[in-house]
Amino acid sequence: MTAPANGRRVLVAGATGGIGEGACRALLRAGNEVVAVGRDAARLDALAARLPGPVEAVVADVTAASAAAWFTARAGTFDGVLIAIGDPGHAHGGTVLDIPDEDVRQMIEVNELGGLRALRTLVPLVRPAGAVVTVLGMSAEIPFPQNPLMGSTNAAMRSLLRTLAEQLRPTGTRIYALVLGMVRTRARQAAGIDNPSWLTGDDIGRYTDDLVVGDVPAPAQTLRYLVDPRVGPRLEPPRPTG
């Protein structure tokens, strides 16, 4: 079931990813017009077939150097944007000191430069008083031996987003860095990795809808946390355990 159209238009970058899919579904159910962006037409077709309503599917790479001009010419404007892209890379043996240069370059290229280019492409498309939500992992906030480069590129984006939010505050555009806990995604479930206490992509879509509307406590605060679905969105990081 989808709610009646609410008149808002929201773009989801990374729509074919695990978070993107759930977010598209929740945003549609809330009555938004949804523009789903991904790099692969077949994956976008498959996504559209699983969703509860029609989306406008756009095959494009928001992280390409040429993306800003392409989107400005074709995409129109939006009340909200959700950016849920990224590559986890892979785990390394040893310590941070042992990570090969090439792996560092590649992760910075995809996650930091790519994340920045996505912002460069999509922020100018947001209407005055609209919102841009970029998802980050808790690895942005804590030591993360499991995947140090994911942690460091997440932390870099966290910093860029906080600075951008300050720089754009006078324009009325709200920039959010949404730090997430573990998410139940189709890919993880297909690999037998699942936990009913984790978030769903739909949880993230519902909260994105609230952020776009501005129907949240402290709407001017950039950093937000959605870590545990039983706790819901928070303005402070969860207290470390142990």
Ligand X SMILES: NC(=O)c1ccc[n+]([C@@H]2O[C@H](COP(=O)([O-])OP(=O)(O)OC[C@H]3O[C@@H](n4cnc5c(N)ncnc54)[C@H](OP(=O)(O)O)[C@@H]3O)[C@@H](O)[C@H]2O)c1
Residues of this chain that bind ligand X (CB under 6 A): 14, 16-20, 38-40, 43, 61, 63, 84-88, 110, 114, 135, 137, 180, 182-183, 185, 187
CB of 235 to ligand X, least distance (A): 18
CB of 58 to ligand X, least distance (A): 11
Are 211 and 176 contacting, i.e. CB atoms less than 8 angstroms apart?
Answer: yes
Whole-angstrom distance, CA of residue 103 vs CA of residue 91 = 10
CB of 5 to ligand X, least distance (A): 26
Residues in the chain: 242
Q: Closer to ligand X at the Cβ: 165 or 227?
A: 227
Q: What is the DSSP pairing of strand 9-13 with strand 33-38?
A: parallel
CB of 213 to ligand X, least distance (A): 22
H helix or E strand, kind and range, residue 133? strand 126-137
Structure tokens at 160: 């860029």
Q: Closer to ligand X at the Cβ: 87 or 103?
A: 87
Q: Closer to ligand X at the Cβ: 39 or 92?
A: 39
102 Cβ neighbours under 8 A, 6+ residues apart:
none
Q: Closer to ligand X at the Cβ: 114 or 148?
A: 114
Whole-angstrom distance, CA of residue 102 vs CA of residue 124 = 32
Q: Closer to ligand X at the Cβ: 3 or 69?
A: 69
